[in-house]
Structure 1
Amino acid sequence: LAAMIGHRNENSRGHIITVEDPIEFVHQHRGCIVTQREVGIDTESFEVALKNMLRQAPDVIMIGEVRTREAMEQAITFAETGHLCLCTLHANNANQALDRILHFFPADRHQQLWMDLSLNLKAMVAQQLIPTRDGQGRRACVEILLNTPLAADLIRKGDVAAVKDLMRQSTEQGMQTFDQALYNLYVSGDITYEDAIAHADSANDLRLLIKLGADNNPEQMRKIAGGLTMQEDASGKPPPRGSYRR
């Protein structure tokens, strides 16, 4: 979120308001005026801060964490009134995020909620930090859902299960699942096979994806078959850049 706010601050004009607990990154005024509030210091709670937010004429609103139904209702209201609203929610992937939003509300409001989300949601980005192969850092692995017309139709119907398949089939539009992102990090040599499988949404699907990738690349298949790895070629040559271990 800090990177998104920073990009907006550098490349546009307007008023950005954030509500955070705590403030982790202080933004300087660049192209935008940035007003940052910390829960417990500048405001009593997220809900109290959000109730009076629109009176300050914001262009962008950032909610550090959505914890209650009231905060989620406010976020949807901000989007409905034409404001860009960024927020975080504890969930492992986009499907779980949609389910968490749904469970904030009673069953009699679910149909209207799906309609509101289909009309106002722009994107969902879920992130996990995966240890790098050398153990010296972590790489961001992201799942991306964009609210294309087809995605909006699935959300309107409440067909959360089909959203995963849509992300898997829409890489040309900029979407991807966690398993696809893990596959790319594995093939590029950034993470180990074991870490890729351990963090996968579906370990079996990722194993199959890796196998199919090897089958479509004879050189890669040769190195994987029979226990060979790109870290230790049969020729004894040093591993190529971007090598990986099974």
Structure 2
Amino acid sequence: MEVFSRILQGAVAAGASDIHLKVNSPVVFRVSGELVPVEAPLPTTEWFNTILAKIVPEHLRPQLEHDHEIDFAYMLAGAGRFRVNVFQQRSTYVMALRAVKAQVRLFQELHLPPVFAHIAEAHRGIVLVTGATGSGKSTTLAAMVEHINITAKKHIITLEDPIEYLFDDKQSVIEQREVGIDTTSFSSGLKNVLRQDPDVIVIGEMRDSASVMAAISAANIGHLVIATLHTVDAAKSVQRILEFFPGSDRETTRQQLATTLHAVICQRLVGTPAGAIIPAVEVMLNTASVSKLIHGGNLEKLSAAIELGTGDGMQTFDQALYDLVKSGTISQEEALANSPTPEALKMRFQGVILSESRRILSARG
């Protein structure tokens, strides 16, 4: 355990976001987005099994033996908290650890736009924080919870697998429930959460039709529900939710979502010239026009509605990247590398703005 502890402490000291451990391979840190091998003893099978025997929670050991992969949180004094994923490849186990910041950062520290405060202050509805794995969804979700905690007297209940950030009650009262320890499953926790007098329900990950229906039911009766989802942009998040349901149920779910959805935030991380990592964020609010599109099943038009909704606080990825370049926060090359439509963004830099249908909306100079 001594070597393992030194590895984690070294990662924190180096500012690494992730640690990768594999049998008979160098220990690797991810620093400022780059994978960097570090000097450390090569993990052996015996060493790896000893570490797993000490850090894997007892209730997850049967799952590891059966499924060959698990998620859990690990706390090391002097280093902090880590989200751990153990999985198997070529018949040996691998470990990926994500360092979780001890201090929950606020919107301004995370370079998130002001509209995030308005989204977090909603009294009801569903807020989805989306993006690829490693895009900072958990950090943004934690910032939203902390904003509510600081500014409002709310009862917040979270369902997480595992718990990552730990909150101290400020104006709000927060209870954090970890699946497998505090509740047997997401479905069990969600079934009982409405009996626990919540104002805000936080679902660590929207993963099936049961969690979607629980969120819709809670939003319908006046609760704010915040959840994460793995999708690449805000518009596709609605389609992803519908895919949890069989075809016969999608129409009803879509109509309910048109009413209960409050906002969808999708983010990806980009690098600054100084070597920092910040989020570029797409924001979709359920305005009257967005609700009408969802209600009518015109999901392919949502991106255009986002682009035209800047007055309401909405923005596409390209609009966000453009603003980051114009403010001097990131380079034009970094923006183009992270754009979903780099050619359109390149033309925007040249003064030509294209709509989603590729028609010229306006040209400058």
Q: TM-score, normalised by structure 1?
A: 0.84
**C-alpha RMSD of the superposition:** 1.5
Query: 1:137 and 1:38 mapped to 2: Cα distance?
Result: 31
Give aligned pairs, total.
216
Instruction: Identify unmatched segments of 5+ residues in structure 1.
Output: 218-246
Deviations 1:72-120 (A, max 9, x none): 1111111112110000000111112111101001111122111101111
What does 1:78-117 align with in structure 2 at a 5 Å threshold?
78-117=218-257
| CA distance in 2 between partners of 1:139 and 1:186 (Å) | 13
CA distance in 1, matches of 2:309, 2:235: 16
Instruction: Give 1:207's match in structure 2, choosing from 346, 350, 354.
Output: 346
Q: Which amino acid aligns with 1:102?
A: L
2:328 and 2:364 mapped to 1: Cα distance? 18
Q: Is the 8 A contact 2:283 2:306 kept in 1?
A: yes
Structure 2, unmatched stretches of 5+, are 1-140, 354-362
TM-score normalised to structure 2 length: 0.57
For residues 38-85 of structure 1, what are the alpha-carbon distances to aligned partners after superposition, in whole Å with 9 as ceiling and x for unaligned? 122212221111111011110100001111111111111111121100
Deviation at 1:213, TM superposition (A): 6.5
Alignment check: 8 A CA contact 2:148 2:154 kept: no
2:311 match: 172
Alignment of 1:59-138 (within 5 A): 59-134=199-274, 136-138=275-277
Once superposed, which parts of structure 1, at least 4 consecutive aligned residues long, lie more than 6 Å away? none
Contact 1:139/1:190, CA 8 A, preserved across alignment:
no
Find the partner of 1:140 among 279, 282, 287. Answer: 279
CA distance in 2, matches of 1:96, 1:151: 13
Deviation at 1:192, TM superposition (A): 2.1
1:53 aligns with 2:193: yes
More helix by share: 1
The aligned residue for residue 176 of structure 2 is 36
Counterparts of 2:280 and 2:158 in 1: how far apart (Å)?
25
Q: Aligned partners of 1:173 and 1:99: how far apart in 2?
A: 23
Aligned to 1:25: 165
Equivalent in the alignment of 1:220: none
Deviations 1:124-164 (A, max 9, x none): 11111101123x21121110111111110001011111110
Deviation of residue 216 (structure 1)?
3.7
Letter in 2 for 1:173: D
**2:56 corresponds to which residue?**
none
Q: Distance in 2 between matches of 1:65 and 1:11?
A: 24
Provide the C-alpha distance between the structure 2 equivalents of 1:22 and 1:213, rounded to a whole number of angstroms: 46
From 282, 289, 297, the equivalent of 1:158 is: 297
Secondary structure at the aligned position of 2:225 is classed as strand
- State whether residues 133 and 189 of structure 1, in contact with CA within 8 Å, keep that contact through their aligned partners in structure 2: no
Name the SS for the 2:245 alignment partner. Answer: coil
Distance 1:40 1:211 in 2: 53
Q: Name the CA distance, whole Å, in 2 between partners of 1:98 and 1:33.
A: 31
More strand by share: 2
The reply on whether 1:9 has 2:157 as its aligned counterpart is no
SS in 1 for 2:229: coil
Q: Which residue of structure 1 aligns with residue 26 of structure 2?
A: none
Tell which deviates more after alignment, 36-45 or 155-164: 36-45
Identity %, equivalent residues: 41
